[in-house]
Amino acid sequence: MLRLRSRAGLDTLLSAAAQMYLAREDTPNHSQASSPAVDTHEAGILDSYSQAVTAAVERVSPAVGHVMVRQRSRSGQERRGSGSGFLFTPDGFVLTNSHVVHRATDISVTFPDGFSHQADLVGDDPDTDLAVIRVSGVTAIPAMLGSSQPLRVGQLAIAVGNPLGFQATVTAGVISALGRTMRSQSGRLIEGVIQTDAALNPGNSGGPLVDSRGLVIAVNTAAIVGAQGLCFSIGIDTAKFVAARLIRDGRIERAYIGVVGQTVPIHRRLVLYHSLRADSGVLVQSVEPGSPAERARVRTGDLIVEFSGHSIDGVDSLHRVLTDQQIGTRTSVAVIRGTAKELLEIDPDRRPALG
């Protein structure tokens, strides 16, 4: 215990304590003084985010239309449907999803200015779920197309469309993942798909996904039913290629060999014996009469392991090599028949149009 030997010592101690107390009272409360600065900073961040979204929407929304269609089903029944699309050229070409306009008997597009325009189907590609339609007399400024190549996970993504018929609806989020694959309605894989958590609902299909500059980076196409924040868009680089071909030819040409197959594993001994580059291939379940595969003597039960020098590890890799460049060009197909490897010559045809 501290003992003070004199009254003077006690007075000195009390004086020092009083000065410390007064100094503490004069010192600003740092937690209270800093909170307005924090609030201002947070408000600034929110303002920047809001300004980015607002500017992007103002740039692209005049080009986004509500696509309304009458479609005929395979059974011959007519039904109504709707989706979204966006003007991407000054002369009236509109990009949308194939499933929105496929088998359409009547198409109209209403833009935010309130005017409705009849549209003609230029072409659609079910394999990538993309389509181009054309309207006349539209005065809207076309959306500017960006690129899906430099995208980064986490960057801002803004979806504009007409979910459930509510026109010019905006949702925002981030790019959740890149390089996804998704199965199209035709059964083929769509590659280079962008995953985002910007909310998509029925009716958003065909609308644009844009970045903070208002440049279109993808075409919205699907959301997983029952999940939250799992939405998918087709990269704009794929869309540019498909749209150009559809405008030029009305369809995308792909090669066809005429087999029905499934992906199966290959026995390890066969992989080692034949020095195969993959441990799976395509088991031929049937061969269509008169098809290139039948002419090349491909048989039911054969296992396709190579095509035109490319290793085939499944149905999807076979689809990838069956491009328009293969049409009418003789090429080789390697099959495992029993335990032997045989090399056959095949001339792929142009694939018939999908109904």
Measured over the CA atoms of residue 99, residue 102, residue 104 and residue 107, the dihedral's sign is positive
Q: Is 35 a catalytic residue?
A: no
* Model pLDDT, residue 38: 46
Q: What is the pLDDT of residue 224?
A: 79
Nearest of 132, 87, 77 to residue 110 by alpha carbon:
87
Q: What span, in angstroms and rounded, lies between the C-alpha atoms of 116 and 138?
A: 9
CATH of span 43-250: 2.40.10.120
pLDDT at residue number 1? 40
What's the pLDDT at 2?
44
Distance of alpha carbon 40 from alpha carbon 332, whole angstroms: 68
User: pTM, whole model, 2 decimals?
Assistant: 0.77
Model pLDDT, residue 190 = 86
Yes or no: say if 283 and 264 are a contact pair by the CB < 8 Å rule: yes
Three-state secondary structure readout of 179-226: EEEEECCCCCEEEEEEEECCCCCCCCCCCEEECCCCCEEEEEEEECCC
**Cα separation, 219 vs 204, whole angstroms:** 10
- From the list 149, 103, 156, the residue with the least C-alpha distance to 126 is 103
**DSSP three-state, residue 185:** coil
C-alpha dist (Å) from residue 149 to 192, 193, 212, 236, 237: 10, 12, 16, 9, 7
pLDDT value, residue 27: 46
Q: What share of the chain is helix, strand, coil (3-state, %, to 5)?
A: 25, 35, 35
Pick the CATH number of 255-350 from 3.90.420.10, 1.20.1090.10, 2.30.42.10, 1.10.1040.10: 2.30.42.10
Residue 333 · residue 317 · CB < 8 Å? no
205 is catalytic: yes
- Domain boundaries, given as residue ranges, for the chain: 43-250, 255-350
What tokens does 253 get?
């040409």
Closest CA to 239 of 355, 106, 143: 143
pLDDT at 129: 94
pLDDT at 42: 58
43-250 and 255-350 share one CATH topology?
no
Q: Which residue in 66, 99, 102, 117 is the catalytic one? A: 99
Could you report the average pLDDT of every consecutive run of 10 residues in the chain (355 residues)?
Answer: 46 48 46 48 71 93 95 80 95 96 93 92 93 93 94 96 87 93 83 91 93 96 81 93 93 91 94 95 94 96 96 91 91 96 96 72
Check: CB of residue 258 under 8 Å from CB of residue 294.
yes
The residue annotated as part of the active site, out of 124, 125, 129, 313, is 129
Helix (H, G, I), strand (E, B) or coil at 264: strand
Catalytic one of 82, 98, 205, 317 = 205
User: Is-catalytic flag, 99?
Assistant: yes
Q: Residue 209 forms beta bridges with which residues?
A: 159, 218
